[in-house]
Amino acid sequence: MKVVKVGLLGLGTVGGGTVNVLERNIEEISRRCGYQVQVVKASARNINAARICRTDAIQLTDDSNEVINDPSIQIIVELMGGHEPAKSLILEAFKQGKHVVTANKALIAVHGNELFAAAAKNNVTLAYEAAIAGGIPIVKAIREGLSANKIEWLAGIINGTGNFILTEMRNKGSAFEDVLKQAQALGYAEADPTFDVEGIDAAHKLCILASLAFGMPLNFNAVYTEGISGVTPLDVTYAEELGYRIKHLGIARQNPNGVEMRVHPTLIPEKVLIANVDGVMNAVMANGNAVGSTMYYGPGAGADATASAVVADIVDICRQLDSSASSHVPALGFLSDKLETPAIVPIMDVRTAFYLRLSVQDKPGVLAAITAILATNEISMEAVLQKEPKQQGADAQIILMTNTVTEKSLLLALNEIESLDSCNGPAIRIRVESLQEDT
């Protein structure tokens, strides 16, 4: 059996998981790719720290250049995270003719255009299946499985930590901070968990998915991003009363004016499959003009699940080792000189329905005043709930679902509503998506 030597940059959750999966499934993997895959070197900041994998056969170093510069290593697996030194190390690996596998969505989303070009220039591969939706082979599904289609839209729960938090809040009434700590202990969260909570991690992934789906260069700055930190248990409960679940979604859609890319909490009808994707599970719906709606489901974070995607990329690279670069699948699925840069639809022009919650004085005529303003702004209501105050003198809650409107017109109406004397504080607003075949 031929041997391929692999060097790891980073030996934390995903690095350790990768070593474990390669060891556990060594026979299956070599039967698939024709190589015995050996991890021979790994870098970490603290080489004396406890690891989740065996390290007796691996040379550990705190100098990542030692891994890159080892001439026996053909494949570098970058699992340290962050922009630097990861980017410089990867570029150096390319120069030395090494293929690279990464799970680093932050790096791909922000520097992917440069990195893919550098990989192509050096006739090597930069593989990144693990960067999106953990163990779900979503890159392969969109890039290869759906290559016959013009993809119209995709929508996904693409952050495991965020979905875990929302699920525990709904099912157990757990406090946000407590669930976040659990997600960190389970190895789901990013090194900086605000990336999970504030939607930045999901925005990184959505940016990559949109480029794969629509054949456009990566454009992270164009993703509109809101996290889940503003989602309250009260809104989770009221959404349920209306027959909806609140999920943190990444949505990319082609419309006649360009491409929408947005990440935000979203109400989804509870009967839609993706509304029932709970815990650390992720799911991505992709709608193609030949296949219709498809959905891909699986664990979105964690050591073994993510390692499954990392190792699949290693297997792919092994299969390519003896073939010419021109026969390889393009990094984003479209020929690099055929990528097109579309107009980006600003969030103000995006059309969705809205869930609104208004804290108001408990007196007659308030609902009538609010509905009059909505009507003047040509916004209609699809549902209304009115909740009496919990104690005398406290605010009543009015919960409304609007029809589909532009963000711009909704905000104009809300401006007027919020300036009513009877309205206390800004409205809570959450976008609503039906995620039907033709949305």
* Segment near ligand NDP (CB under 6 A); pick from 40-48, 166-174, 338-346, 367-375: 40-48
* Segment near ligand NDP (CB under 6 A); pick from 7-15, 65-73, 351-359, 361-369: 7-15
- Does position 300 interact with ligand HSE (CB under 6 A)? The reply is yes
- Does position 235 interact with ligand HSE (CB under 6 A)? The reply is no
Q: Which does 196 bind (CB under 5 to 8 A by kind): ligand NDP, ligand HSE, none?
A: ligand HSE
Residue ranges in 249-382 assigned as alpha helix (H): 303-320, 366-376
**Active-site residue, from 41, 87, 140, 205:** 205
Contact between 384 and 374 under an 8 Å Cβ cutoff? The reply is no
- Candidate residues 16, 134, 227, 288; the one interacting with ligand HSE per rule CB under 6 A: 134
- Cα Rg of the chain (Å, integer): 24
- Does position 160 interact with ligand HSE (CB under 6 A)? The reply is yes
Residue environment code for 380-415, b if the CB has 16+ CB neighbours within 10 A, otherwise e: eeeeeeebeeeeeeebbbbbbbbeebebeebebbbe
Q: Which is nearer to ligand HSE, 40 or 141 (CB)?
A: 141
Q: Which does 43 bind (CB under 5 to 8 A by kind): ligand HSE, ligand NDP, none?
A: ligand NDP
Q: Which is nearer to ligand NDP, 239 or 283 (CB)?
A: 283
- Candidate residues 161, 254, 377, 397; the one interacting with ligand HSE per rule CB under 6 A: 161
On the CB side of 50, CA atoms within 13 Å amount to: 1
34: amino acid identity, one letter: G
Q: Which does 104 bind (CB under 5 to 8 A by kind): ligand HSE, ligand NDP, none?
A: ligand NDP
- Does position 103 interact with ligand NDP (CB under 6 A)? The reply is yes
- Does position 311 interact with ligand NDP (CB under 6 A)? The reply is no
CB of 105 to ligand HSE, least distance (A): 6
Touching ligand NDP, residues 372-391 (CB under 6 A): none
d(CA 38, CA 4): 6
Q: Which is nearer to ligand NDP, 160 or 215 (CB)?
A: 160
DSSP E strand stretches across 229-301: 244-255, 258-269, 281-288, 292-299
Phi, psi of 403 (to 5 degrees): -75, -175
d(CA 349, CA 260): 9
3-state secondary structure of 250: strand
- Which positions ≥6 away from 205 have C-beta within 8 Å? 105, 109, 131, 132, 133, 156, 158, 159, 250
Q: Which is nearer to ligand NDP, 10 or 112 (CB)?
A: 10
Binding residues for ligand HSE, total number by CB under 6 A: 11
Tokens of 89: 């190390």
CB of 368 to ligand NDP, least distance (A): 50
Residue ranges in 122-175 assigned as alpha helix (H): 138-140, 160-172
- Candidate residues 3, 26, 49, 234; the one interacting with ligand NDP per rule CB under 6 A: 49
* Segment near ligand HSE (CB under 6 A); pick from 64-72, 182-190, 310-318, 350-358: 182-190
Q: Which is nearer to ligand HSE, 216 or 280 (CB)?
A: 280
- Candidate residues 70, 129, 168, 190; the one interacting with ligand HSE per rule CB under 6 A: 190
Residue 150 falls in the annotated catalytic set: no
Give the nearest residue (CB) to ligand HSE.
161
Phi, psi of 116 (to 5 degrees): -65, -40
Per-residue CA distances from 378 to 373, 402, 403, 432 (Å):
9, 10, 10, 18
* Segment near ligand NDP (CB under 6 A); pick from 109-117, 299-307, 346-354, 390-398: 299-307
CB of 196 to ligand HSE, least distance (A): 5
Residue ranges in 13-99 assigned as alpha helix (H): 13-24, 26-33, 64-68, 86-95
Q: Which does 15 bind (CB under 5 to 8 A by kind): ligand HSE, ligand NDP, none?
A: ligand NDP
- Candidate residues 4, 6, 7, 12; the one interacting with ligand NDP per rule CB under 6 A: 12
Q: Which does 191 bind (CB under 5 to 8 A by kind): ligand HSE, ligand NDP, none?
A: ligand NDP
- Candidate residues 201, 226, 235, 433; the one interacting with ligand HSE per rule CB under 6 A: 201
Q: How many residues does the chain have?
A: 439
Touching ligand NDP, residues 50-89 (CB under 6 A): 64, 79-81, 85
- Candidate residues 159, 287, 293, 402; the one interacting with ligand HSE per rule CB under 6 A: 159
Other CB atoms within a 10 A radius of the CB of residue 362 amount to: 16
Tokens of 151: 């993809």
- Which positions ≥6 away from 41 have C-beta within 8 Å? 7, 8, 58, 59, 60, 61, 66, 67, 70, 73
Phi, psi of 385 (to 5 degrees): -125, 140
Catalytic positions, written as ranges: 205
